[in-house]
Structure 1
Amino acid sequence: MTTTKKNNKGLILTFIAVFTLPVILAKLALDNHWFTEASTNKGELLQPSLDMNNLVSEQDPKKWKLVYVLPAQCDVTCENAIYSLTQLHSALGKEQDRAESIVITLEDSDPKAISALANNKHLRVLKANQQSVNQVFQQVTTNGIFIADTLNNIILRYPTQSDTQQAVLHSRDILSDMRKVLKLSRIG
């Protein structure tokens, strides 16, 4: 009988170790940062988020936004960004009604680009003054494509690209993040 009791004790101790050891190791790994923490977003997370409520109207529908600020001179980088915004809106498919692409124009923005934007039905042109834009983007450069949530908080930034091939690749990253936020969000 003593051998049976010893075997039972050993079995119980093994059973406890099998279930508690992984929990203890996981806790140690988390506390001591033994692994590289990863994020699933492909854009640069803006912390704190930027509040763009002073640029949009309260009557605007609650939608996710892709935002781009049109520079004074619209070069290849600017053209790639505008093309990306148009393509991204189309690529959203059935989720298009939950998101919109906005191009913010300033007093000194490129007039040729502004007139070309008027014919683009996938982009909404939003006129703003330099002071309002500076107030929103005081911590971040306006050179980029941004994602704003339904409460008009700019949360992600993507750099613009001068190379067309790189612009297409970065558009895929933006699309991936937009699909994630639309999937996770019930608003908009």
Structure 2
Amino acid sequence: MPSPVLSDTARRTASGRWKMFGVLAVCAAPVVASYFAYFVVKPQARNNYGELITPTVELPARLPLSTLSGETVAPASLRGQWLLVVVADAACDATCEKHLFLQRQLRETLGADKARLDKVWLIPDGGTPRPEVLQAIAPGQPATVLRVPREALAKWLTPASGRSLADHLYIVDPMGQWMMRVPPDPDPARLKKDIERLLRASASWDRPGR
């Protein structure tokens, strides 16, 4: 017959070993997780070109928008699509022309995803753009050109410190949230990468068209 003393000793020895293995597993878990993250997940450091706006700023429900012919436009009509926004007076100086050209070219280079991005030009001075400027932005998918009082627009979009609204382009998500401000004199290639990342990240829930 086995000795009760030996059986108790064996049980205590086995229990001690399992506890030791448990402690080792707990200690090793962070190491295993870090190796898994590094070699399998391979996270990348955030390298966005544009400045992320945190928290995002919602499109005001009562933002007074109107077409060039004076018809009122509901702000909600801008939702449902990614927006690349230019802000510039109707006279459209050299910076404005460069931004409008870049806006058009970026959308065209997105290939099949270009239907998920709309071009918007907000005019805060109430003027009327030159016909040749409107003609230049008409080919392909025309930009949405809207007038909006400068004071009202400033409650939604704001420039970087020491800059004006017209110095930047602005990216707005399909829910109407302003979420990124593009640096002045932007690098087209780096800006395109930002837009492509945003479109990939939202591919599961964003669809072309409003």
Shared fold by TM > 0.5?
yes
Q: Within 2, Cα distance between the matches of 1:116 and 1:109?
A: 17
Q: Which residue of 140, 151, 159 corresponds with 2:175?
A: 151
Which digits, 9 at most, give the CA deviation of each residue in 1:154-181, with x for residues without a partner? 11111131xxxx6223333332333234
In structure 2, relative to structure 1, the CA distance for the partners of 1:44 and 1:64 (3 Å cut) is: same
TM-score scaled to structure 1, two decimals?
0.67
Which runs of no fewer than 5 residues in structure 2 stay unpaired?
1-5, 34-43, 66-72
Distance of 1:135 and 1:96 partners within structure 2: 29
Q: Which residue of 1 aligns with 2:27?
A: 21
| 1:34 paired residue number | none
Decide whether aligned partners of structure 1 residues 91 and 124 sit closer, same or farther in structure 2, where only a CA change above 3 A counts: same
Q: Using the TM superposition, name which of 175-184 and 99-108 deviates more.
A: 175-184
Question: Hey, what's the Cα distance between the residues in 2 that align with 1:14 and 1:107?
Answer: 74
Pick closer, same or farther for the CA change 1:91–1:174 going to 2, 3 Å: same
Contact 1:70 1:109 in 2 (8 A): no
Deviations 1:34-86 (A, max 9, x none): xxx943644211123223341462345621111111245522x4333222211
Query: Which of residues 101, 110, 113 is equivalent to 1:83?
Result: 101
The SS at the match of 2:202 is helix
Asked if 1 retains the 8 angstrom alpha-carbon contact of 2:85 and 2:121, the reply is yes
* Root-mean-square deviation (Å): 3.8
Fraction of identical pairs, as percent:
17
Higher relative contact order (CA 8 A, sep 6+): 1
* Residue 149 of structure 1: how far off its partner (Å): 1.6
Alpha-carbon separation, structure 2, partners of 1:82 and 1:184: 29
Query: For residue 103 of structure 1, what is the aligned residue in structure 2?
Result: 121
Q: TM-score of the superposition, structure 2-length normalised?
A: 0.62
Give the greater-gyration-radius structure (CA): 2
Equivalent residues of 2:50, 2:191 under 8 A apart: no
User: Number of paired residues?
Assistant: 174
